[in-house]
A and B are shown apart, each in its own frame.
Chain A
């Protein structure tokens, strides 16, 4: 009680934050949980139906297709959007000309600022089979037949993975560069005195020292892989839908398009549970607690 009085001003300052989370985070969470156990109608009675919505979702083959798509596409994005910016950051770190380094960072960062609507429009145009620059290069330089990238289910997942990697590369790259900059220069000095080459400095100094940043980036990316939605919504079309419709798309379709809010809420909780499980696994594997 004495402590409560002593820090009362601090507790009062916390009230808006707590209220924010209660109203905008935990209330919807509880409401969503309630909905998942109801035969939820827009108006009128909403009887409780136990686990029927969960059962319906689990017995829906489209849900399992969405799980597979999410894991494949999300896994791909997780790997590529980790490795690619790391490689770029390490490369940029070797660049001595500051103007080039800064210009490269800026150019890499620009796609992160664009919405998926813009990015999707740009790439649909660039990948167009008749007037897209990619196909023009394939046809006129490599004398290949044009590829309808956006309509070929064989390319669909790759397109999504690579575009997501391209879009977020600059942002992640900056995180890595910040980590690299903060490495103690005396470590490099000691390595050089021991005769370490640039490559060995990279392997034995930079990467180990960057491990904490890498863990954070990997965990943040893991948290996002089951929530992929925008890019799929923008880039999908009927011929590739079966290969790219992810869990959030399934939830959107059930909830918004088919107005089956009970199953949609149940599917959302599966996403939540899967995210929780994945996060715990990643934390354990990466020993995140030691960061």
Chain B
């Protein structure tokens, strides 16, 4: 018996290791007593427009993008916010595993005044979990934020909860994803911008077979992606939108319908003929970007901002480069509709247990004014840039930071880009503004996504017949009650 007890206690101790990931860090009796019992917090103190003086205010921020590139720079960044706003600011910017850090912080009752998020599905969960503060009155009462030239009124729809309350404030303008092509390769091979699925095929095949980089080797691919991120541009040809689509009040996932079959078959053909990078299943976006920047692939699907970053990176390496990345539109469907993906917004929430919500509101207004935008984009004055009169000049540090300290693009139409946008970005953003829509991530999407990706990738890579993959995908989603029809 003694030995059995010894064994039990040994294994119990071992078990604690299993549980420490979610048990110890996620639970806290303190957190249970925070004021956010229930959903989004309401009340005068939380909703009143910010009018308190900045002096003696403190602000504690947790974010994943805003700040410097190193912890030291982030400390300087926080000091600059303090200088510009008078709010004593501290920023915590984890180097990695940001989502886990947020979850751990919230679960353990850590008190932040602002938290940056970029996932609407997670926002909906946080609303259900009583984490966020209702900001409706603050936003509508704020002279800065309610100004449609600062943030277009329609954009706030993205940050409303199911009851129509505004629960976040934008950090920056978020774009969308699209095919990005080597325009210089197109020109070299005498090809036009592709507009149909067949034209895309011809272009990609030419990139594979006609040695567009001119090194005499058959070492280029037509297209690379990072799993099914993001094939929306091609699915658009079949009129198929990614994620959930509500149809007559029922949940559907168009990627799991027969309409998507021809597109999966098209990809399988690309893979079979060696036109598509065979590593697309295991690629992360970094690998995909590297292929594009190193002349290994002629087209990738990625963010609008990266059109400019690709061009700028190569230009900095070689000022005489002919490299020219260009954004392409999605393929129109049979009815002419173009479907493009808009990324989830990047936004701030004020947690329900924030100790200094007034300071957070002051900051949010500041963040959408010119000094805030310049700080979020160019960086710290006299560190990242200098200003003589109205003219800005980037320092070597500023050039290295690529005008991105969390806000590469912004909504405020009254604040001009001091150096313009990087080459190709405006055209890419025009496509996003014209056609891109948000994807709908309902509860259960993480489980559904696993099923969709599994079969979609099998069909695309030719491991499974497309029709069979779609049937299995649909049946499995239906069987697990993740779709309604």
| Interface residue ranges, A against B (CB under 8 Å) | 21, 24-29, 31-35, 40-46, 61-62, 124, 128-130, 146, 148, 150-153, 223, 227, 237-239, 241-242, 245, 248, 251-253, 255-259, 261, 264-265, 268-269, 271-272, 275-276, 279-280, 283, 289
Write the nearest CB–CB distance from B436 to chain A, whole angstroms. Answer: 24
Residues A265 and B227 in contact, CB atoms below 8 Å apart: no
Are A31 and B461 in touch, CB under 8 angstroms?
no
Contacting A265 at CB < 8 Å: which of B4, B7, B22, B446?
B22
Q: Is B334 close to A, CB under 8 A? A: no
* Contact A28-B32, Cβ < 8 Å, known A146-B278, A241-B454: no
Are A44 and B34 in contact (CB-based, < 8 A)?
yes
Q: Judging by beta carbons under 8 Å apart, are B281 and A150 in contact?
A: yes
Closest CB of chain B to A59's CB: distance in Å? Answer: 11
**Which of B19, B125, B228 contacts A272 (CB under 8 A)?**
B19
Interface set, chain B 203-255, CB cutoff 8 A to A: 227-228
Looking at chain A's contact residues, the main secondary structure is helix
Of the listed stretches B46-54, B99-107, B179-187, B356-364, chain A binds B99-107
Q: Are B13 and A151 in contact (CB under 8 A)?
A: no
> 6 A-B contacts, Cβ less than 8 Å apart?
A43-B353, A45-B37, A46-B32, A227-B17, A271-B15, A283-B7
Q: Does B149 contact A (CB under 8 A)?
A: no
In the complex with contacts A43-B31, A239-B457, A258-B446, A223-B15 CB distance below 8 A: no
Min distance, Cβ A79 to any Cβ of chain B, angstroms? 21
Contact A129 B279 (CB under 8 A): yes
In the bound complex, residues from chain B placing their C-beta under 8 Å from that of A265 are 19, 22-23
A44 near B23: Cβ-Cβ < 8 Å: no
Q: A61-B480, A62-B447, A239-B454 are in contact. List 18 more A-B contacts (CB 8 A).
A: A24-B24, A31-B27, A32-B16, A42-B129, A43-B106, A43-B130, A130-B278, A130-B279, A151-B457, A153-B458, A242-B450, A242-B454, A256-B103, A258-B446, A268-B22, A271-B15, A272-B19, A276-B11
Interface centre among A124, A245, A261, A283 (most CB of B within 10 A): A261
Per the bound structure, the CA–CA distance linking A252 and B20 in Å amounts to: 12
B202 within 8 A of A: no
Given the interface pairs A46-B32, A239-B461, the reply to whether A279 lies near B447 with Cβ below 8 Å is no
Enumerate chain B residues within 8 angstroms of A223, measured Cβ to Cβ.
11, 14
Knowing A25-B13, A148-B278, A261-B107 are in contact, say whether A256-B461 is a contact too (CB < 8 A).
no
Known: A129-B278, A258-B446, A259-B129. A227 touches B107 (CB 8 A): no
**How far apart sit A279 and B316, CA to CA, in the bound complex (Å)?**
60
* Shortest Cβ gap from B238 to chain A (Å): 21
Given A34-B27, A130-B279, A152-B463: A271 in contact with B130 (beta carbons within 8 A): no
With a cutoff of 8 Å between Cβ atoms, the chain B residues found around residue A130 in the complex are 277-279
Taken residue by residue from 260 to 291, chain B's Cβ proximity to chain A (1 for < 8 Å, 0 otherwise) reads as 00000000000000000111011000000000
Residue with the greatest number of chain B CB neighbours at <10 A, chosen from A21, A276, A280, A283: A276
* Residue numbers in B under 8 Å from A248 (CB-CB): 18
Q: How far is the CB of A74 from chain B (nearest CB, A)?
A: 14
In the complex the two chains form, what is the Cα distance from A124 to B457 in whole Å?
A: 17
Contact B21 A239 (CB under 8 A): no
A258 CA / B458 CA spacing, docked (Å): 25
Question: Is the beta-carbon distance between A27 and B24 smaller than 8 angstroms?
Answer: yes
Please tell me the number of chain B residues within 8 Å of chain A, measured between CB atoms: 58
Complex CA gap A275/B228 in Å reads 37
**Least Cβ–Cβ distance between B32 and chain A, in angstroms:** 6
List B residues at the A interface (Cβ < 8 Å).
3-4, 7-8, 11-24, 26-27, 31-32, 34, 36-38, 99-100, 103, 106-107, 122, 125-126, 128-131, 227-228, 277-279, 281-282, 351-353, 446-447, 450, 453-454, 457-458, 461, 463, 480
Point out the residues of chain B lying under 8 angstroms from A45, CB to CB.
32, 37-38
Assess A40 versus B454: contact at CB under 8 Å? Given A28-B16, A238-B281, A256-B103: no
Inter-chain CA distance A46–B28, complex, in Å, is 11
CA distance A289 to B7 in the complex (A): 11
- By beta carbon, the residue of chain B nearest A248 is B18
Q: Which residues of B contact A261 (CB under 8 A)?
A: 22, 26-27, 107
**9 residue pairs, one from A and one from B, having the closest CB atoms:** A32-B23, A28-B24, A238-B453, A44-B130, A272-B15, A32-B19, A44-B37, A151-B281, A255-B22
A153 to B457, CA, bound (A): 11
A102 to B36, CA, bound (A): 62
Q: Which of A21, A26, A129, A275 has a CB less than 8 Å from the CB of B11?
A: A275
Task: Evaluate contact between B36 and A28: CB separation under 8 angstroms.
Answer: no
Q: Is the CB–CB distance between A251 and B22 below 8 Å?
A: yes
Q: In the complex the two chains form, is B131's CB within 8 Å of A43's CB?
A: yes
Most chain A CB neighbours (cut-off 10 Å) among B22, B34, B453: B22
A187 to B446, CA, bound (A): 61
Closest B residue to A245 by beta carbon equals B450
Query: Could you tell me the distance in whole angstroms from the C-beta of B391 to the nearest C-beta in chain A?
Result: 45
Query: B11: which A residues are within 8 A, CB to CB?
Result: 223, 272, 275-276, 279
Which residues of chain A have C-beta atoms less than 8 A from B99's C-beta? Answer: 256-257
Give bound CA distance, A146 to B14, whole Å. Answer: 42
Q: Is the CB of A128 within 8 A of B279?
A: yes
- In the complex, what distance in Å separates the CA atom of A24 from the CA atom of B281? 40
Closest B residue, CB atoms, query A227? B18
Q: Are B22's CB and A289's CB within 8 A?
A: no
Most buried by A among B21, B106, B125: B21
Distance, CA A179 to CA B278, complexed state (A)? 47
Contacts of A29 in B (CB 8 A): 12, 15-16, 19, 23
B195: min CB distance to chain A, Å: 29
Q: How far is the CB of B455 from chain A (nearest CB, A)?
A: 9
